[in-house]
Amino acid sequence: RAPAPAAVAAASAAGGATVEEEARERERVAKMGAAVRTLLECLGEDPDREGLVDTPTRVANALLYCTRGGRVDAAAAVSRLVSRAMYDERHNEPVCVRDITFHSLCEHHMLPFFGKVHVAYVPSGRVVGLSKLARVVDVFARQLQVQERLTRQIADACAEALGAAGVAVVVEATHMCMAMRGVERQGATTTTSCYTGVYRGEGGAALRAEFLALVGGRGGCDR
């Protein structure tokens, strides 16, 4: 029996994958592997040579791992993550977690983009365990994405799951589709921002200024 794909093996070890799910994942890996083999042949490579013989399966498993967030109910996943770590607390000033690293895949070229996410929220009587904000980022980053949508999804998910009075998000990223091909500009960084609730509009100007000062002045657009 062939070893289970990495994503299924991890879920199975945690008690999260059924025999049927494992069988479906094996079939998916086999189908994807055949497609990768075809790509290698189209590139003029010999997929049977020593260095490439296992590449189709490796690529299939890697893509499944990097896009696993796209095959779950994101709202339910975020709700489960957050509900386990919400605490009653009278703190009503902004809470900011900066420099949350992430990796994602651009949906246009399926090349990586990566960088940092900065998240702040104003509690409404409850606070969340800080690590959960990083996990929320992972839910949306681990799928085929564009940075603009990723930024909005993180902000909206945090606002709803935390019941926050407002959420601010800034994403800074380097895109390999811009660095490795096309204009081939290394070192260019794309910055996007999103604000909800008390962070929006003229009334949120002071909160936005505080947030931007905390994250180093980045992301000045009020989206």
Dihedral angle over CA of 106, 5, 134, 208, nearest 10: 20
Q: State yes or no: is 103 an active-site residue.
A: no
pLDDT, greater one: 223 or 111: 111
pLDDT of 1 reads: 40
* Residue 106: active-site member: yes
Residue 8 pLDDT level (bands cut at 50, 70, 90): low
Q: What is the mean pLDDT of residues 46-68?
A: 96
91 is catalytic: no
Question: Is 184 designated active site?
Answer: no
Instruction: Give 115-155 pLDDT, tens digit per residue.
Output: 999 999 999 999 999 999 999 999 999 999 999 999 999 99
- 3-state SS record for the chain: CCCCCHHHHHHHHCCCCCHHHHHHHHHHHHHHHHHHHHHHHHCCCCCCCCCCCCHHHHHHHHHHHHCHHHHCCHHHHHHHHHHCCEEECCCCCCEEEEEEEEEEEECCCCCEEEEEEEEEEECCCEEECHHHHHHHHHHHHCCEECHHHHHHHHHHHHHHHHCCCEEEEEEEEEEHHHHCCCCCCCCCCEEEEEEEECCCCHHHHHHHHHHHHHCCCCCCCCC
Confidence of residue 185 (pLDDT cuts 50, 70, 90): confident
Q: What is the mean pLDDT of residues 54-78?
A: 94
User: Catalytic residue among 22, 45, 96, 177, which?
Assistant: 177
Q: Is the pLDDT of residue 218 over 90?
A: no
* Lowest pLDDT segment from 44-48, 182-186, 188-192: 182-186
From the list 153, 172, 175, 194, the catalytic residue is: 175
Instruction: From the candidates 106, 145, 153, 194, give the one annotated as an active-site residue.
Output: 106
14 has pLDDT over 60 = no
Across 94-109, average pLDDT? 96
Active site residue 118: no
147 is an active site residue = yes
The pLDDT score that the predictor gives to residue 220 is 46
pLDDT tier for residue 6 given thresholds of 50, 70 and 90: low
| In the predicted structure, residue 70 carries a pLDDT above the cut 50 | yes
State yes or no: is 89 an active-site residue.
no
pLDDT at 181: 87
Q: Which of 158, 157, 170 is nearest to 223 (CA)?
A: 170
- Catalytic residue, chosen from 21, 89, 107, 148, is 107
Q: From its phi and psi, is residue 63 left (phi > 0), alpha (psi between -120 and 50) or beta?
A: alpha
What is the pLDDT, as a whole number, of residue 7? 56
The residue from 27, 41, 89, 108 that is catalytic is 108
pLDDT-based confidence at residue 223 (cuts at 50, 70, 90): very low
Checking if the pLDDT of 23 tops 80, the result is yes
- 201 pLDDT tier (thresholds 50, 70, 90): confident
pLDDT at 219: 56
